[in-house]
Structure 1
Amino acid sequence: MPRNPLSTTAVAAIAVVALLVGTAVGAGVYAAVGSDDGSNSQQLRDGQSTATNSSSADVAAFSSAAAFRSYLDASADRRSGGYYGATFLDGPRVASSAEGGTADDVVTETAVAESTPQATAEAAQTVASDTSAGGNAGGVDGSGGSDSVDRVSGTNVQVTDVDEPDVVKSDGESVYYARGSRSGFYPNKRAGVTLLNTADPVSPELAGEIDASGQLLLANDTLLVLSHDAVVAYDVSDRENPEERWTKEVSGRLQTARLSDGHVYLVTVDGLRYDAPCPIRPFGDGGAEVACTDVYHPTEPVPVDQTYTTTALDPESGDVADSVSFLGGHRSTVYMSGDSLYVTYVQPPEYGRLYLDFLLTEERDRLPDSVVDRLETLREYDLSSQARSIETNRALSAWYRSLDADERREVQTELANDWRNHLDEHKRELTSTGIVKVSVDSAEGESDGDSAPSLAVADVGSVPGVPLNQFSLSEYDGHLRIATTIQAPGTESENDLYVLDEQLETVGEVQGMGVDEQIYSVRYVGDTAYVVTFKRIDPFHVVDLSDPENPEVKGELKLPGFSSYLHPLSEDRVLGVGEENGQVKAVVFDVSDPENPTVEDDYVLDERWSAIRESHHAFLIDRKHGVFFLPGQQGGYVFGYDDGLELQKVVDVQGAQRAIYLNDYLYVFGESEVVVVDETNWERVTMLELPEYRYDVVEEPEPRAE
């Protein structure tokens, strides 16, 4: 008897699910991904730890490598979903640590479909005390740093005094500029670090060079150069003769880093090894290791494919103070507040189980008893999602073959439409982001920078949707706020904002902002959130978060283009930087009446590119002079913002990347030069050509013989 091919209905059903899975993988930050609501989870297998060393019952540490492997088995069953889902454990290495990064990788100066505002130390005091208002990192204002330079801007960061890697760092007397590393942590063959002597801000001089590539952190006299696979520290106390202090090779991938309270915090990512899953060695065989009992996981098995490790170390010596690891999925986002570090990851959907549940609930009356009985049996079996999908399809195919052509076509159409409607109604069950909270505590409760910090996984949580980047998250007054985009294939996207308590339990939410749009930027200022969504126009939403349990959208404004960067100028004015018709645009929002936000002024530049697209670090505000700086391909643009927007100065520099101020001098960094402008009269005072870096010759590997 010939083998029966799949009916067109079965093929259609498979295509729908395959489309969903493919979209979830390929649609970037707006893909549909799965949630774990606990209703259809598998039990922990024999040998898996259920004890926890953390404060949350939802997270546990493994008791052994065997328990780790047992969890991977359970996770594999959850992961291999979809009608043609891939098998999770198909080899000793399940996830490549070379997998591409995300919006928060320091390895990629990520674009900022929402860049955060940063204020300098002055701005943090002027705008808000909320750490989410942004702040100065590494800068000096008023005193210290240098005998001749007493006003130095730091990197434009998300949280005051939590420094982030960037291509320019300064302590006042010296400036360090990593050139040719616009691609982030991944080394550029012509990149290097140029050291400038800026003791006299009017006349900077070349002081030295470092033959290294990456982004920078500066801790006193130690300069860290971070690439995707290594961290190298240099002693720059003698800037003309920098010396290498220590090097740490990263076994997987360096995701991001922070510098806070005298310690560096690295987040590294490693693929999973089934044969020897732990201990974790984020810095290779010779480095510090994380024992199995310090590797955490959600107690509920969820699809995982990577291990994240947070490491605290001393920047001067490279000594590791503490490390903690936890399991997660791909596309992570990292956000650090004063005493907590949050890592999010996408949890992919289990469409096989979802489709089976859909058939047994909404379509039960349509199905013959024999099919219902078979599907009920399948739901009880401890099957992988892939196996469950195949068996579900077999049960449906047998029924389809019993129908005549017209009846079969009618059933196909109705099932497909019902399934799409089901996805639309349950889209928040398809898409979720796991959140891991790592507590950062100094010894004996001290926070003077001298005590070694200790790290622990405090809690885990989950919210529907996917955050845009690190600025979608904000910790404030004991609550975590996170904005996400909800999307399922074939449905209209929506955008939500969730408020979580200290245990990462959701206590409040706003749902349905910007229907059929996606989040392009988020900015938190105290108990207010500003959310920009976009598809064809730019809705600017004002969300009142003063009551965490009852957040509320107070006002909305629609305007052409979109803002990918939001920055508070004052308590009732917010700057947006983005695009309109492909050109760089700046707009000032008047939010004095939250229920009726308006556009105070806007300005469209004759520029089609700005470094702000790649990194929020490219933005600079100088509140003393009432100006901000926007880099462009053709030059650097200085705007006054006290009364509307006024173009104060165009600095002629090719490929402007960054700007800083030293005293009353604005330094604009281009691809091959630094231009210094006097901020008191906006006159150009000097230009310093930078050394030319040569391309290294890289031989292409010989093609392998077939």
Structure 2
Amino acid sequence: MSLRTITTGIAAVATLTAAAGVGYVVGTGSDGDDRPPTGPPIALANADLVATASCEELLDSYVDRALGQVGPYGWGGDMPVFAMESGDAGSSDAMSSGVERSAAATSRSTSGASGTNVQEVGVDESDVVKVSGSLLLRMRDGQLLAYDVSGDEPWLLSTTRLDDARGNDWVGDPGGELVLVGGRAVVIGSSGDGLSTTITTVDLADPTAPGVVDATTVRGRASAVRLHGDVVRVVLNNGLPELDFSHPDGTFGEIRSRLRNRSLVRDTTLADWLPTVDGRPLVACEDVAVPEDEDLPLGTTTVLAVDPAAPTTRTSTAVATDSDTAYFSTDRFYLAAAAPGWRPWTDCFDCRWAGSTATGTTPLFAFALDGMDATYVASGEVEGTIADRWSMDAVGGSLRVAVGPSSETGNFNSVLTLREEGADLVEAGRVDDLGVGEEIMSVRWFDDLAIVVTFRQTDPLYAVDLTDPDSPALLGELKIPGFSEYLHPLGEQRLIGVGQDASLQGVTRGAQAALFDVTDLTSPRQVDVVRYPANSLAGAGTDPRQFTWLPEQRVALTVVSQGWTGTTGWVSVLSLDDGSMTNRMVEVEHGTDVADVRLVPLASGKVALVTGDDVSFFTV
């Protein structure tokens, strides 16, 4: 089977005029006013999202929802809340029918053209390293380093220090990630407090002397960066505003404190709720859609599109809820409106952490992508929780979602298919009872197949046939100790799973890599396993960009680390031959720099090893 190309049966919107009749058309914010411009009310596809008639009405919608969430201690009502991160509020029939439908096969997948291991073919993702021909770029401590990798050894061409829009350097702040398009690098970096994002465009016509074309600092946290053709899209999250709340003191302290805090909320402006540039909202009022469901997390999620050839040309659209569970196909953007999950302090925008905090149903909003524009086209909801972007996938006009249990489901996991019917995302089919009492650890989607791994004590691996989206079927399952946190296809009928080994009682023992044969989907098999040292971790479990598959050599490269203090990082070189794996461990890095180790395939056939302080060629 060839590389998968994601397509949909819903035609892309041809023109903005046509789109306005069926959906929500984004616009470009004005640079001339202190507040977003207003315009004609947008036409929304259905009542799940509401268009406000004015900026005043938009602000009122934020304030009205916020007043119910503020108490004498600030956000959280009557009890004090200590936020982890600034801005966050804190069947048998199917089995029996599968024999006749066991011809589904995995897709072949490799790293993208820029060297990054991506979720979707044709949709590049930001990373700390990118390549184009003989040029390798990397971010390190707020510096963009350019290397020539055409010779016997990588050669450093230039070092460019990047500043934010106010001239402050990034020293001490997260190091930033980049995408590469049209001879330009677009670098996205976060401020030290995680509340602002700087988008810097660098011209690489002469890589020995790169030139900064534009640097724009936006108040809002970047949670995802994608490249569609020559358009860079950044998902920005703005949670509850940071306000100077008072705290109770004295006999009537709670009453006075509550009244004062509610007054602070009433005095907020749109600049407190929307992403801003130099204090002015980045998104126009008419381009912010308000969910009808007032129980959704309060805040704003914005999709900002940037043209690297003209970086001050931007379009934006927003939904008045805070969620960082966003999935991009080649022509769709899906937002799962669930509260952001727990996130440790990190400079990785798109890594996999704990899932969403949804407790019942999860609303889904779909946007069509066309050039710089995003058009709201459909919405719906699923009962259950959606852990992360890897739990969603779109192909052939069908959205497929893996959901975990919630208060509205049984204690099991499910795979659902949905299709666009007019302005609605309608459930077409489903498979339930996957991993009863267990948690989804990883999902991998193919044209007509889903592989789902759950875990509590053993690792059930489920093969779900999606050939007919209206009638998905569980084909087979495999129960083994441990679990896979990341799954990667190795051509036809083979998968590798990287995760944790575990005892039969469910106690994790250290990282492992497992090779699976899914030739017969009714009876998937684990054909080999490599176990790493005790208490080790596989980097690809949280950051799939630390996994590289070299199909010509039949070699998988993955980063393994061990130790909370004195951390050591290795590259595990897994060579595949006749259904077995051999492993060679190469020590490459230590400390926090282990998280930035990358193995990047080059056009020359070589592999670049990027560590904290060095770029070298790695011997496979």
TM-score (norm 1): 0.63
Q: Which residue of 1 aligns with 2:326?
A: 334
> Structure 1 CA distance, aligned partners of 2:465 and 2:41?
39
Equivalent AA in structure 1 for residue 412 of structure 2: E
Q: Which residue of 1 aligns with 2:504?
A: none
Q: 2:218 aligns with which of 250, 255, 267?
A: 250
Q: 2:309 aligns with which of 316, 329, 345?
A: 316
Contact 2:556 2:575 in 1 (8 A): yes
With over 3 angstroms needed to count, the CA separation of the structure-2 counterparts of 1:347 and 1:603, relative to structure 1, is closer
Q: 2:144 aligns with which of 162, 186, 193?
A: 193
1:205-220 equivalences under 5 Å are 205-212=155-162, 213-220=175-182
Contact 2:40 2:286 in 1 (8 A): no
> Structure 2 CA distance, aligned partners of 1:337 and 1:86?
35
> Structure 2 CA distance, aligned partners of 1:653 and 1:101?
39
Q: Which residue of 1 aligns with 2:261?
A: none
1:92-107 equivalences under 5 Å are 98-99=86-87
> Structure 2 CA distance, aligned partners of 1:599 and 1:645?
10
Q: Which residue of 1 aligns with 2:378?
A: 459
> Structure 2 CA distance, aligned partners of 1:320 and 1:563?
42
Contact 1:162 1:338 in 2 (8 A): yes
Residue 406 of structure 2 corresponds to residue 506 of structure 1: no
Contact 1:577 1:584 in 2 (8 A): yes
Shift of 1:100: 5.7
Of stretches 456-465 and 276-285 in structure 1, the one that deviates more from structure 2 is 276-285
Residue 586 of structure 2 corresponds to residue 651 of structure 1: yes
In structure 1, the residue corresponding to 2:219 is in which secondary structure?
Answer: coil
In structure 2, the residue corresponding to 1:325 is in which secondary structure?
Answer: strand
Equivalent AA in structure 2 for residue 58 of structure 1: D
Shift of 1:460: 2.2
Equivalent AA in structure 2 for residue 340 of structure 1: R
Residue 57 of structure 2 corresponds to residue 67 of structure 1: yes
In structure 1, the residue corresponding to 2:57 is in which secondary structure?
Answer: helix
> Structure 2 CA distance, aligned partners of 1:328 and 1:50?
22
With over 3 angstroms needed to count, the CA separation of the structure-2 counterparts of 1:535 and 1:192, relative to structure 1, is farther
User: What's the CA shift string for 1:372-421, capped at 9, x where partnerless?
Assistant: xxxxxxxxxxxxxxxxxxxxxxxxxxxxxxxxxxxxxxxxxxxxxxxxxx
Q: Which residue of 2 aligns with 1:420?
A: none
With over 3 angstroms needed to count, the CA separation of the structure-2 counterparts of 1:101 and 1:596, relative to structure 1, is farther
In structure 2, the residue corresponding to 1:159 is in which secondary structure?
Answer: coil
Q: 2:519 aligns with which of 578, 592, 598?
A: 592
Equivalent AA in structure 2 for residue 297 of structure 1: V
More strand by share: 2
With over 3 angstroms needed to count, the CA separation of the structure-2 counterparts of 1:176 and 1:50, relative to structure 1, is closer
Contact 2:118 2:124 in 1 (8 A): yes
1:159-308 equivalences under 5 Å are 159-179=120-140, 190=141, 192-200=143-151, 202-212=152-162, 213-228=175-190, 229-271=197-239, 275=267, 278=270, 282-285=275-278, 289-308=282-301
In structure 2, the residue corresponding to 1:612 is in which secondary structure?
Answer: helix
Equivalent AA in structure 1 for residue 571 of structure 2: G
With over 3 angstroms needed to count, the CA separation of the structure-2 counterparts of 1:245 and 1:594, relative to structure 1, is same
Pairs aligned (count): 483
Contact 1:138 1:161 in 2 (8 A): no
Residue 481 of structure 2 corresponds to residue 519 of structure 1: no
* Structure 1, gaps ≥5 residues long: 1-48, 103-125, 140-153, 180-189, 349-427, 443-452, 683-706
Contact 1:618 1:631 in 2 (8 A): yes
> Structure 1 CA distance, aligned partners of 2:407 and 2:199?
39
Residue 611 of structure 2 corresponds to residue 636 of structure 1: no
1:665-680 equivalences under 5 Å are 665-678=606-619
User: What's the CA shift string for 1:50-73, capped at 9, x where partnerless?
Assistant: 986133343232112343245346
Shift of 1:652: 3.9
> Structure 2 CA distance, aligned partners of 1:666 and 1:259?
23
Contact 2:129 2:137 in 1 (8 A): yes
> Structure 2 CA distance, aligned partners of 1:134 and 1:77?
49
Shift of 1:157: 0.5
Of stretches 505-514 and 246-255 in structure 1, the one that deviates more from structure 2 is 505-514
User: Identity over the aligned pairs, expressed in percent?
Assistant: 28
Q: Which residue of 2 aligns with 1:432?
A: 361
TM-score (norm 2): 0.71
User: What's the CA shift string for 1:210-235, capped at 9, x where partnerless?
Assistant: 33421111113212221222111222
Of stretches 525-534 and 170-179 in structure 1, the one that deviates more from structure 2 is 170-179
> Structure 2 CA distance, aligned partners of 1:215 and 1:454?
23
User: What's the CA shift string for 1:612-661, capped at 9, x where partnerless?
Assistant: 23311111111111111112234212222242233364434224611012
Residue 549 of structure 2 corresponds to residue 621 of structure 1: yes
Contact 2:513 2:531 in 1 (8 A): yes
Shift of 1:264: 0.5
1:327-476 equivalences under 5 Å are 327-330=320-323, 332-346=324-338, 430-442=359-371, 453-476=372-395
More helix by share: 1
Contact 1:256 1:266 in 2 (8 A): yes
Equivalent AA in structure 1 for residue 483 of structure 2: F
User: What's the CA shift string for 1:224-276, capped at 9, x where partnerless?
Assistant: 22122211122222222222111111112122111111010111122467546
Contact 2:368 2:374 in 1 (8 A): yes
Residue 78 of structure 2 corresponds to residue 138 of structure 1: no
Larger Rg: 1
Shift of 1:76: 5.1
Shift of 1:484: 1.6
Equivalent AA in structure 2 for residue 210 of structure 1: T
Equivalent AA in structure 2 for residue 595 of structure 1: T
In structure 1, the residue corresponding to 2:304 is in which secondary structure?
Answer: strand
Q: Which residue of 2 aligns with 1:155?
A: 116
> Structure 1 CA distance, aligned partners of 2:76 and 2:554?
55
Q: Which residue of 1 aligns with 2:245?
A: none
Contact 1:50 1:60 in 2 (8 A): no
With over 3 angstroms needed to count, the CA separation of the structure-2 counterparts of 1:87 and 1:537, relative to structure 1, is same
In structure 2, the residue corresponding to 1:293 is in which secondary structure?
Answer: helix
Contact 1:627 1:641 in 2 (8 A): yes
* Structure 2, gaps ≥5 residues long: 1-38, 91-104, 163-174, 191-196, 242-265, 341-356, 502-507, 562-568
Shift of 1:170: 0.7
> Structure 2 CA distance, aligned partners of 1:346 and 1:68?
21
> Structure 1 CA distance, aligned partners of 2:293 and 2:109?
35
User: What's the CA shift string for 1:562-584, capped at 9, x where partnerless?
Assistant: 10000111332211111114322
Shift of 1:589: 1.3
With over 3 angstroms needed to count, the CA separation of the structure-2 counterparts of 1:245 and 1:52, relative to structure 1, is closer
With over 3 angstroms needed to count, the CA separation of the structure-2 counterparts of 1:50 and 1:303, relative to structure 1, is farther
In structure 1, the residue corresponding to 2:286 is in which secondary structure?
Answer: helix
With over 3 angstroms needed to count, the CA separation of the structure-2 counterparts of 1:286 and 1:238, relative to structure 1, is farther
With over 3 angstroms needed to count, the CA separation of the structure-2 counterparts of 1:528 and 1:601, relative to structure 1, is same
Q: 1:480 aligns with which of 394, 399, 402?
A: 399
Q: Which residue of 2 aligns with 1:390?
A: none
With over 3 angstroms needed to count, the CA separation of the structure-2 counterparts of 1:524 and 1:64, relative to structure 1, is same
Give every structure 1 segment of 4 or more consecutive aligned residues whose post-TM-superposition deviation is greater than 6 Å: 77-81
Shift of 1:319: 2.5
Kindly report the root-mean-square deviation, in angstroms, between the aligned alpha carbons of the 2 structures.
3.5
Shift of 1:524: 0.5
Contact 2:301 2:322 in 1 (8 A): no
Equivalent AA in structure 2 for residue 669 of structure 1: V
